[in-house]
Amino acid sequence: MSPEKMVYMANQIATFFKTQPGEDVAARVAAHIHDFWEPRMRDQLCAHVDAGGAGLDPAVIAAVAELRAGA
């Protein structure tokens, strides 16, 4: 998947959860990505964060940290 598309999709998810009441945005984004993204896509996302995470919403970056902790 092109990095732009992946960043776009991840940010879309963050945009939704940021509008929800509650504090645990990163956890919810992480849970959504964990449940719906195939491992290849998650790996690509993690790699993108390792490479600086250009373009990613901070909530996604926080979510990736949670994903790693959970995995």
Partner 1 sequence: MKDFIIPWNERSDERDMGTPAKEGKPVTLTIDGFEITVPEGTSVMRAAAEAGIQVPKLCASDNLEAFGSCRLCAVEIEGRRGLPASCTTPVAPGMVVQTQNEKLRKLRRGVMELYISDHPLDCLTCAANGDCELQDMAGAVGLRDVRYKAPEGAGLANHFEARDTSGQVNPEWLPKDDSNPYFSYDPSKCIVCNRCVRACEEVQGTFALTIEGRGFDSRVSAGGAGDDFLASDCVSCGACVQACPTATLQEKSVIELGTPERSVITTCAYCGVGCSFKAEMQGDQLVRMVPYKHGKANRGHSCVKGRFAYGYATHKDRILNPMIRETIDEPWREVSWDEALSFAATKLRGLQEVHGRRSIGVITSSRCTNEETFLVQKLTRAVFGNNNTDTCARVCHSPTGYGLGQAFGTSAGTQDFDSVEKTDVVVVIGANPTDGHPVFGSRLKKRLREGAKLIVIDPRRIDLVKSAHIQAAHHLALKPGTNVAVLTALSHVIVTEGLMDEAFIRERCDWDEFQDYAEFVSDPRHSPEATEALTGVPAAELRAAARLFATGGNGAIYYGLGVTEHSQGSTSVMGIANLAMLTGNLGRPGVGVNPLRGQNNVQGSCDMGSFPHELPGYRHVKLPEVREIFEQAWGVEIDPEPGLRINNMLDAAVDGSFKGLYIQGEDILQSDPDTKHVAAGLAAMECVIVHDLFLNETANYAHVFLPGSTFLEKDGTFTNAERRINRVRKVMAPRNGYADWEVTQLLANAMGAGWNYTHPAQIMEEIAATTPSFAGVDYALLEEKGSVQWPCNEAHPEGTPVMHVDGFVRGKGRFIVTEYVATDEKTGPRFPLLLTTGRILSQYNVGAQTRRTENVVWHERDLLEIHPHDAEQRGIKDGDWVRLASRTGETTLIAKLTDRVSPGVVYTTFHHPDTQANVITTDFSDWATNCPEYKVTAVQVGPSNGPTDWQEEYAARTERARRILPAAE
> What residue ranges bind partner 1 (CB under 8 A)?
1-2, 5, 9, 12-13, 15-16, 19-21, 32, 34-41
Helix (H, G, I), strand (E, B) or coil at 54: coil
- Smallest distance, Å, CB 35 to partner 1? 6
In terms of CB distance, is 16 or 54 closer to partner 1?
Answer: 16
Query: Do 54 and 15 form a contact (C-beta atoms < 8 A)?
Result: no
* Helix H or strand E segment including 2: none
Residue 6 CB, shortest distance to partner 1, in Å, is 9
Read off the DSSP letter of residue 49: H
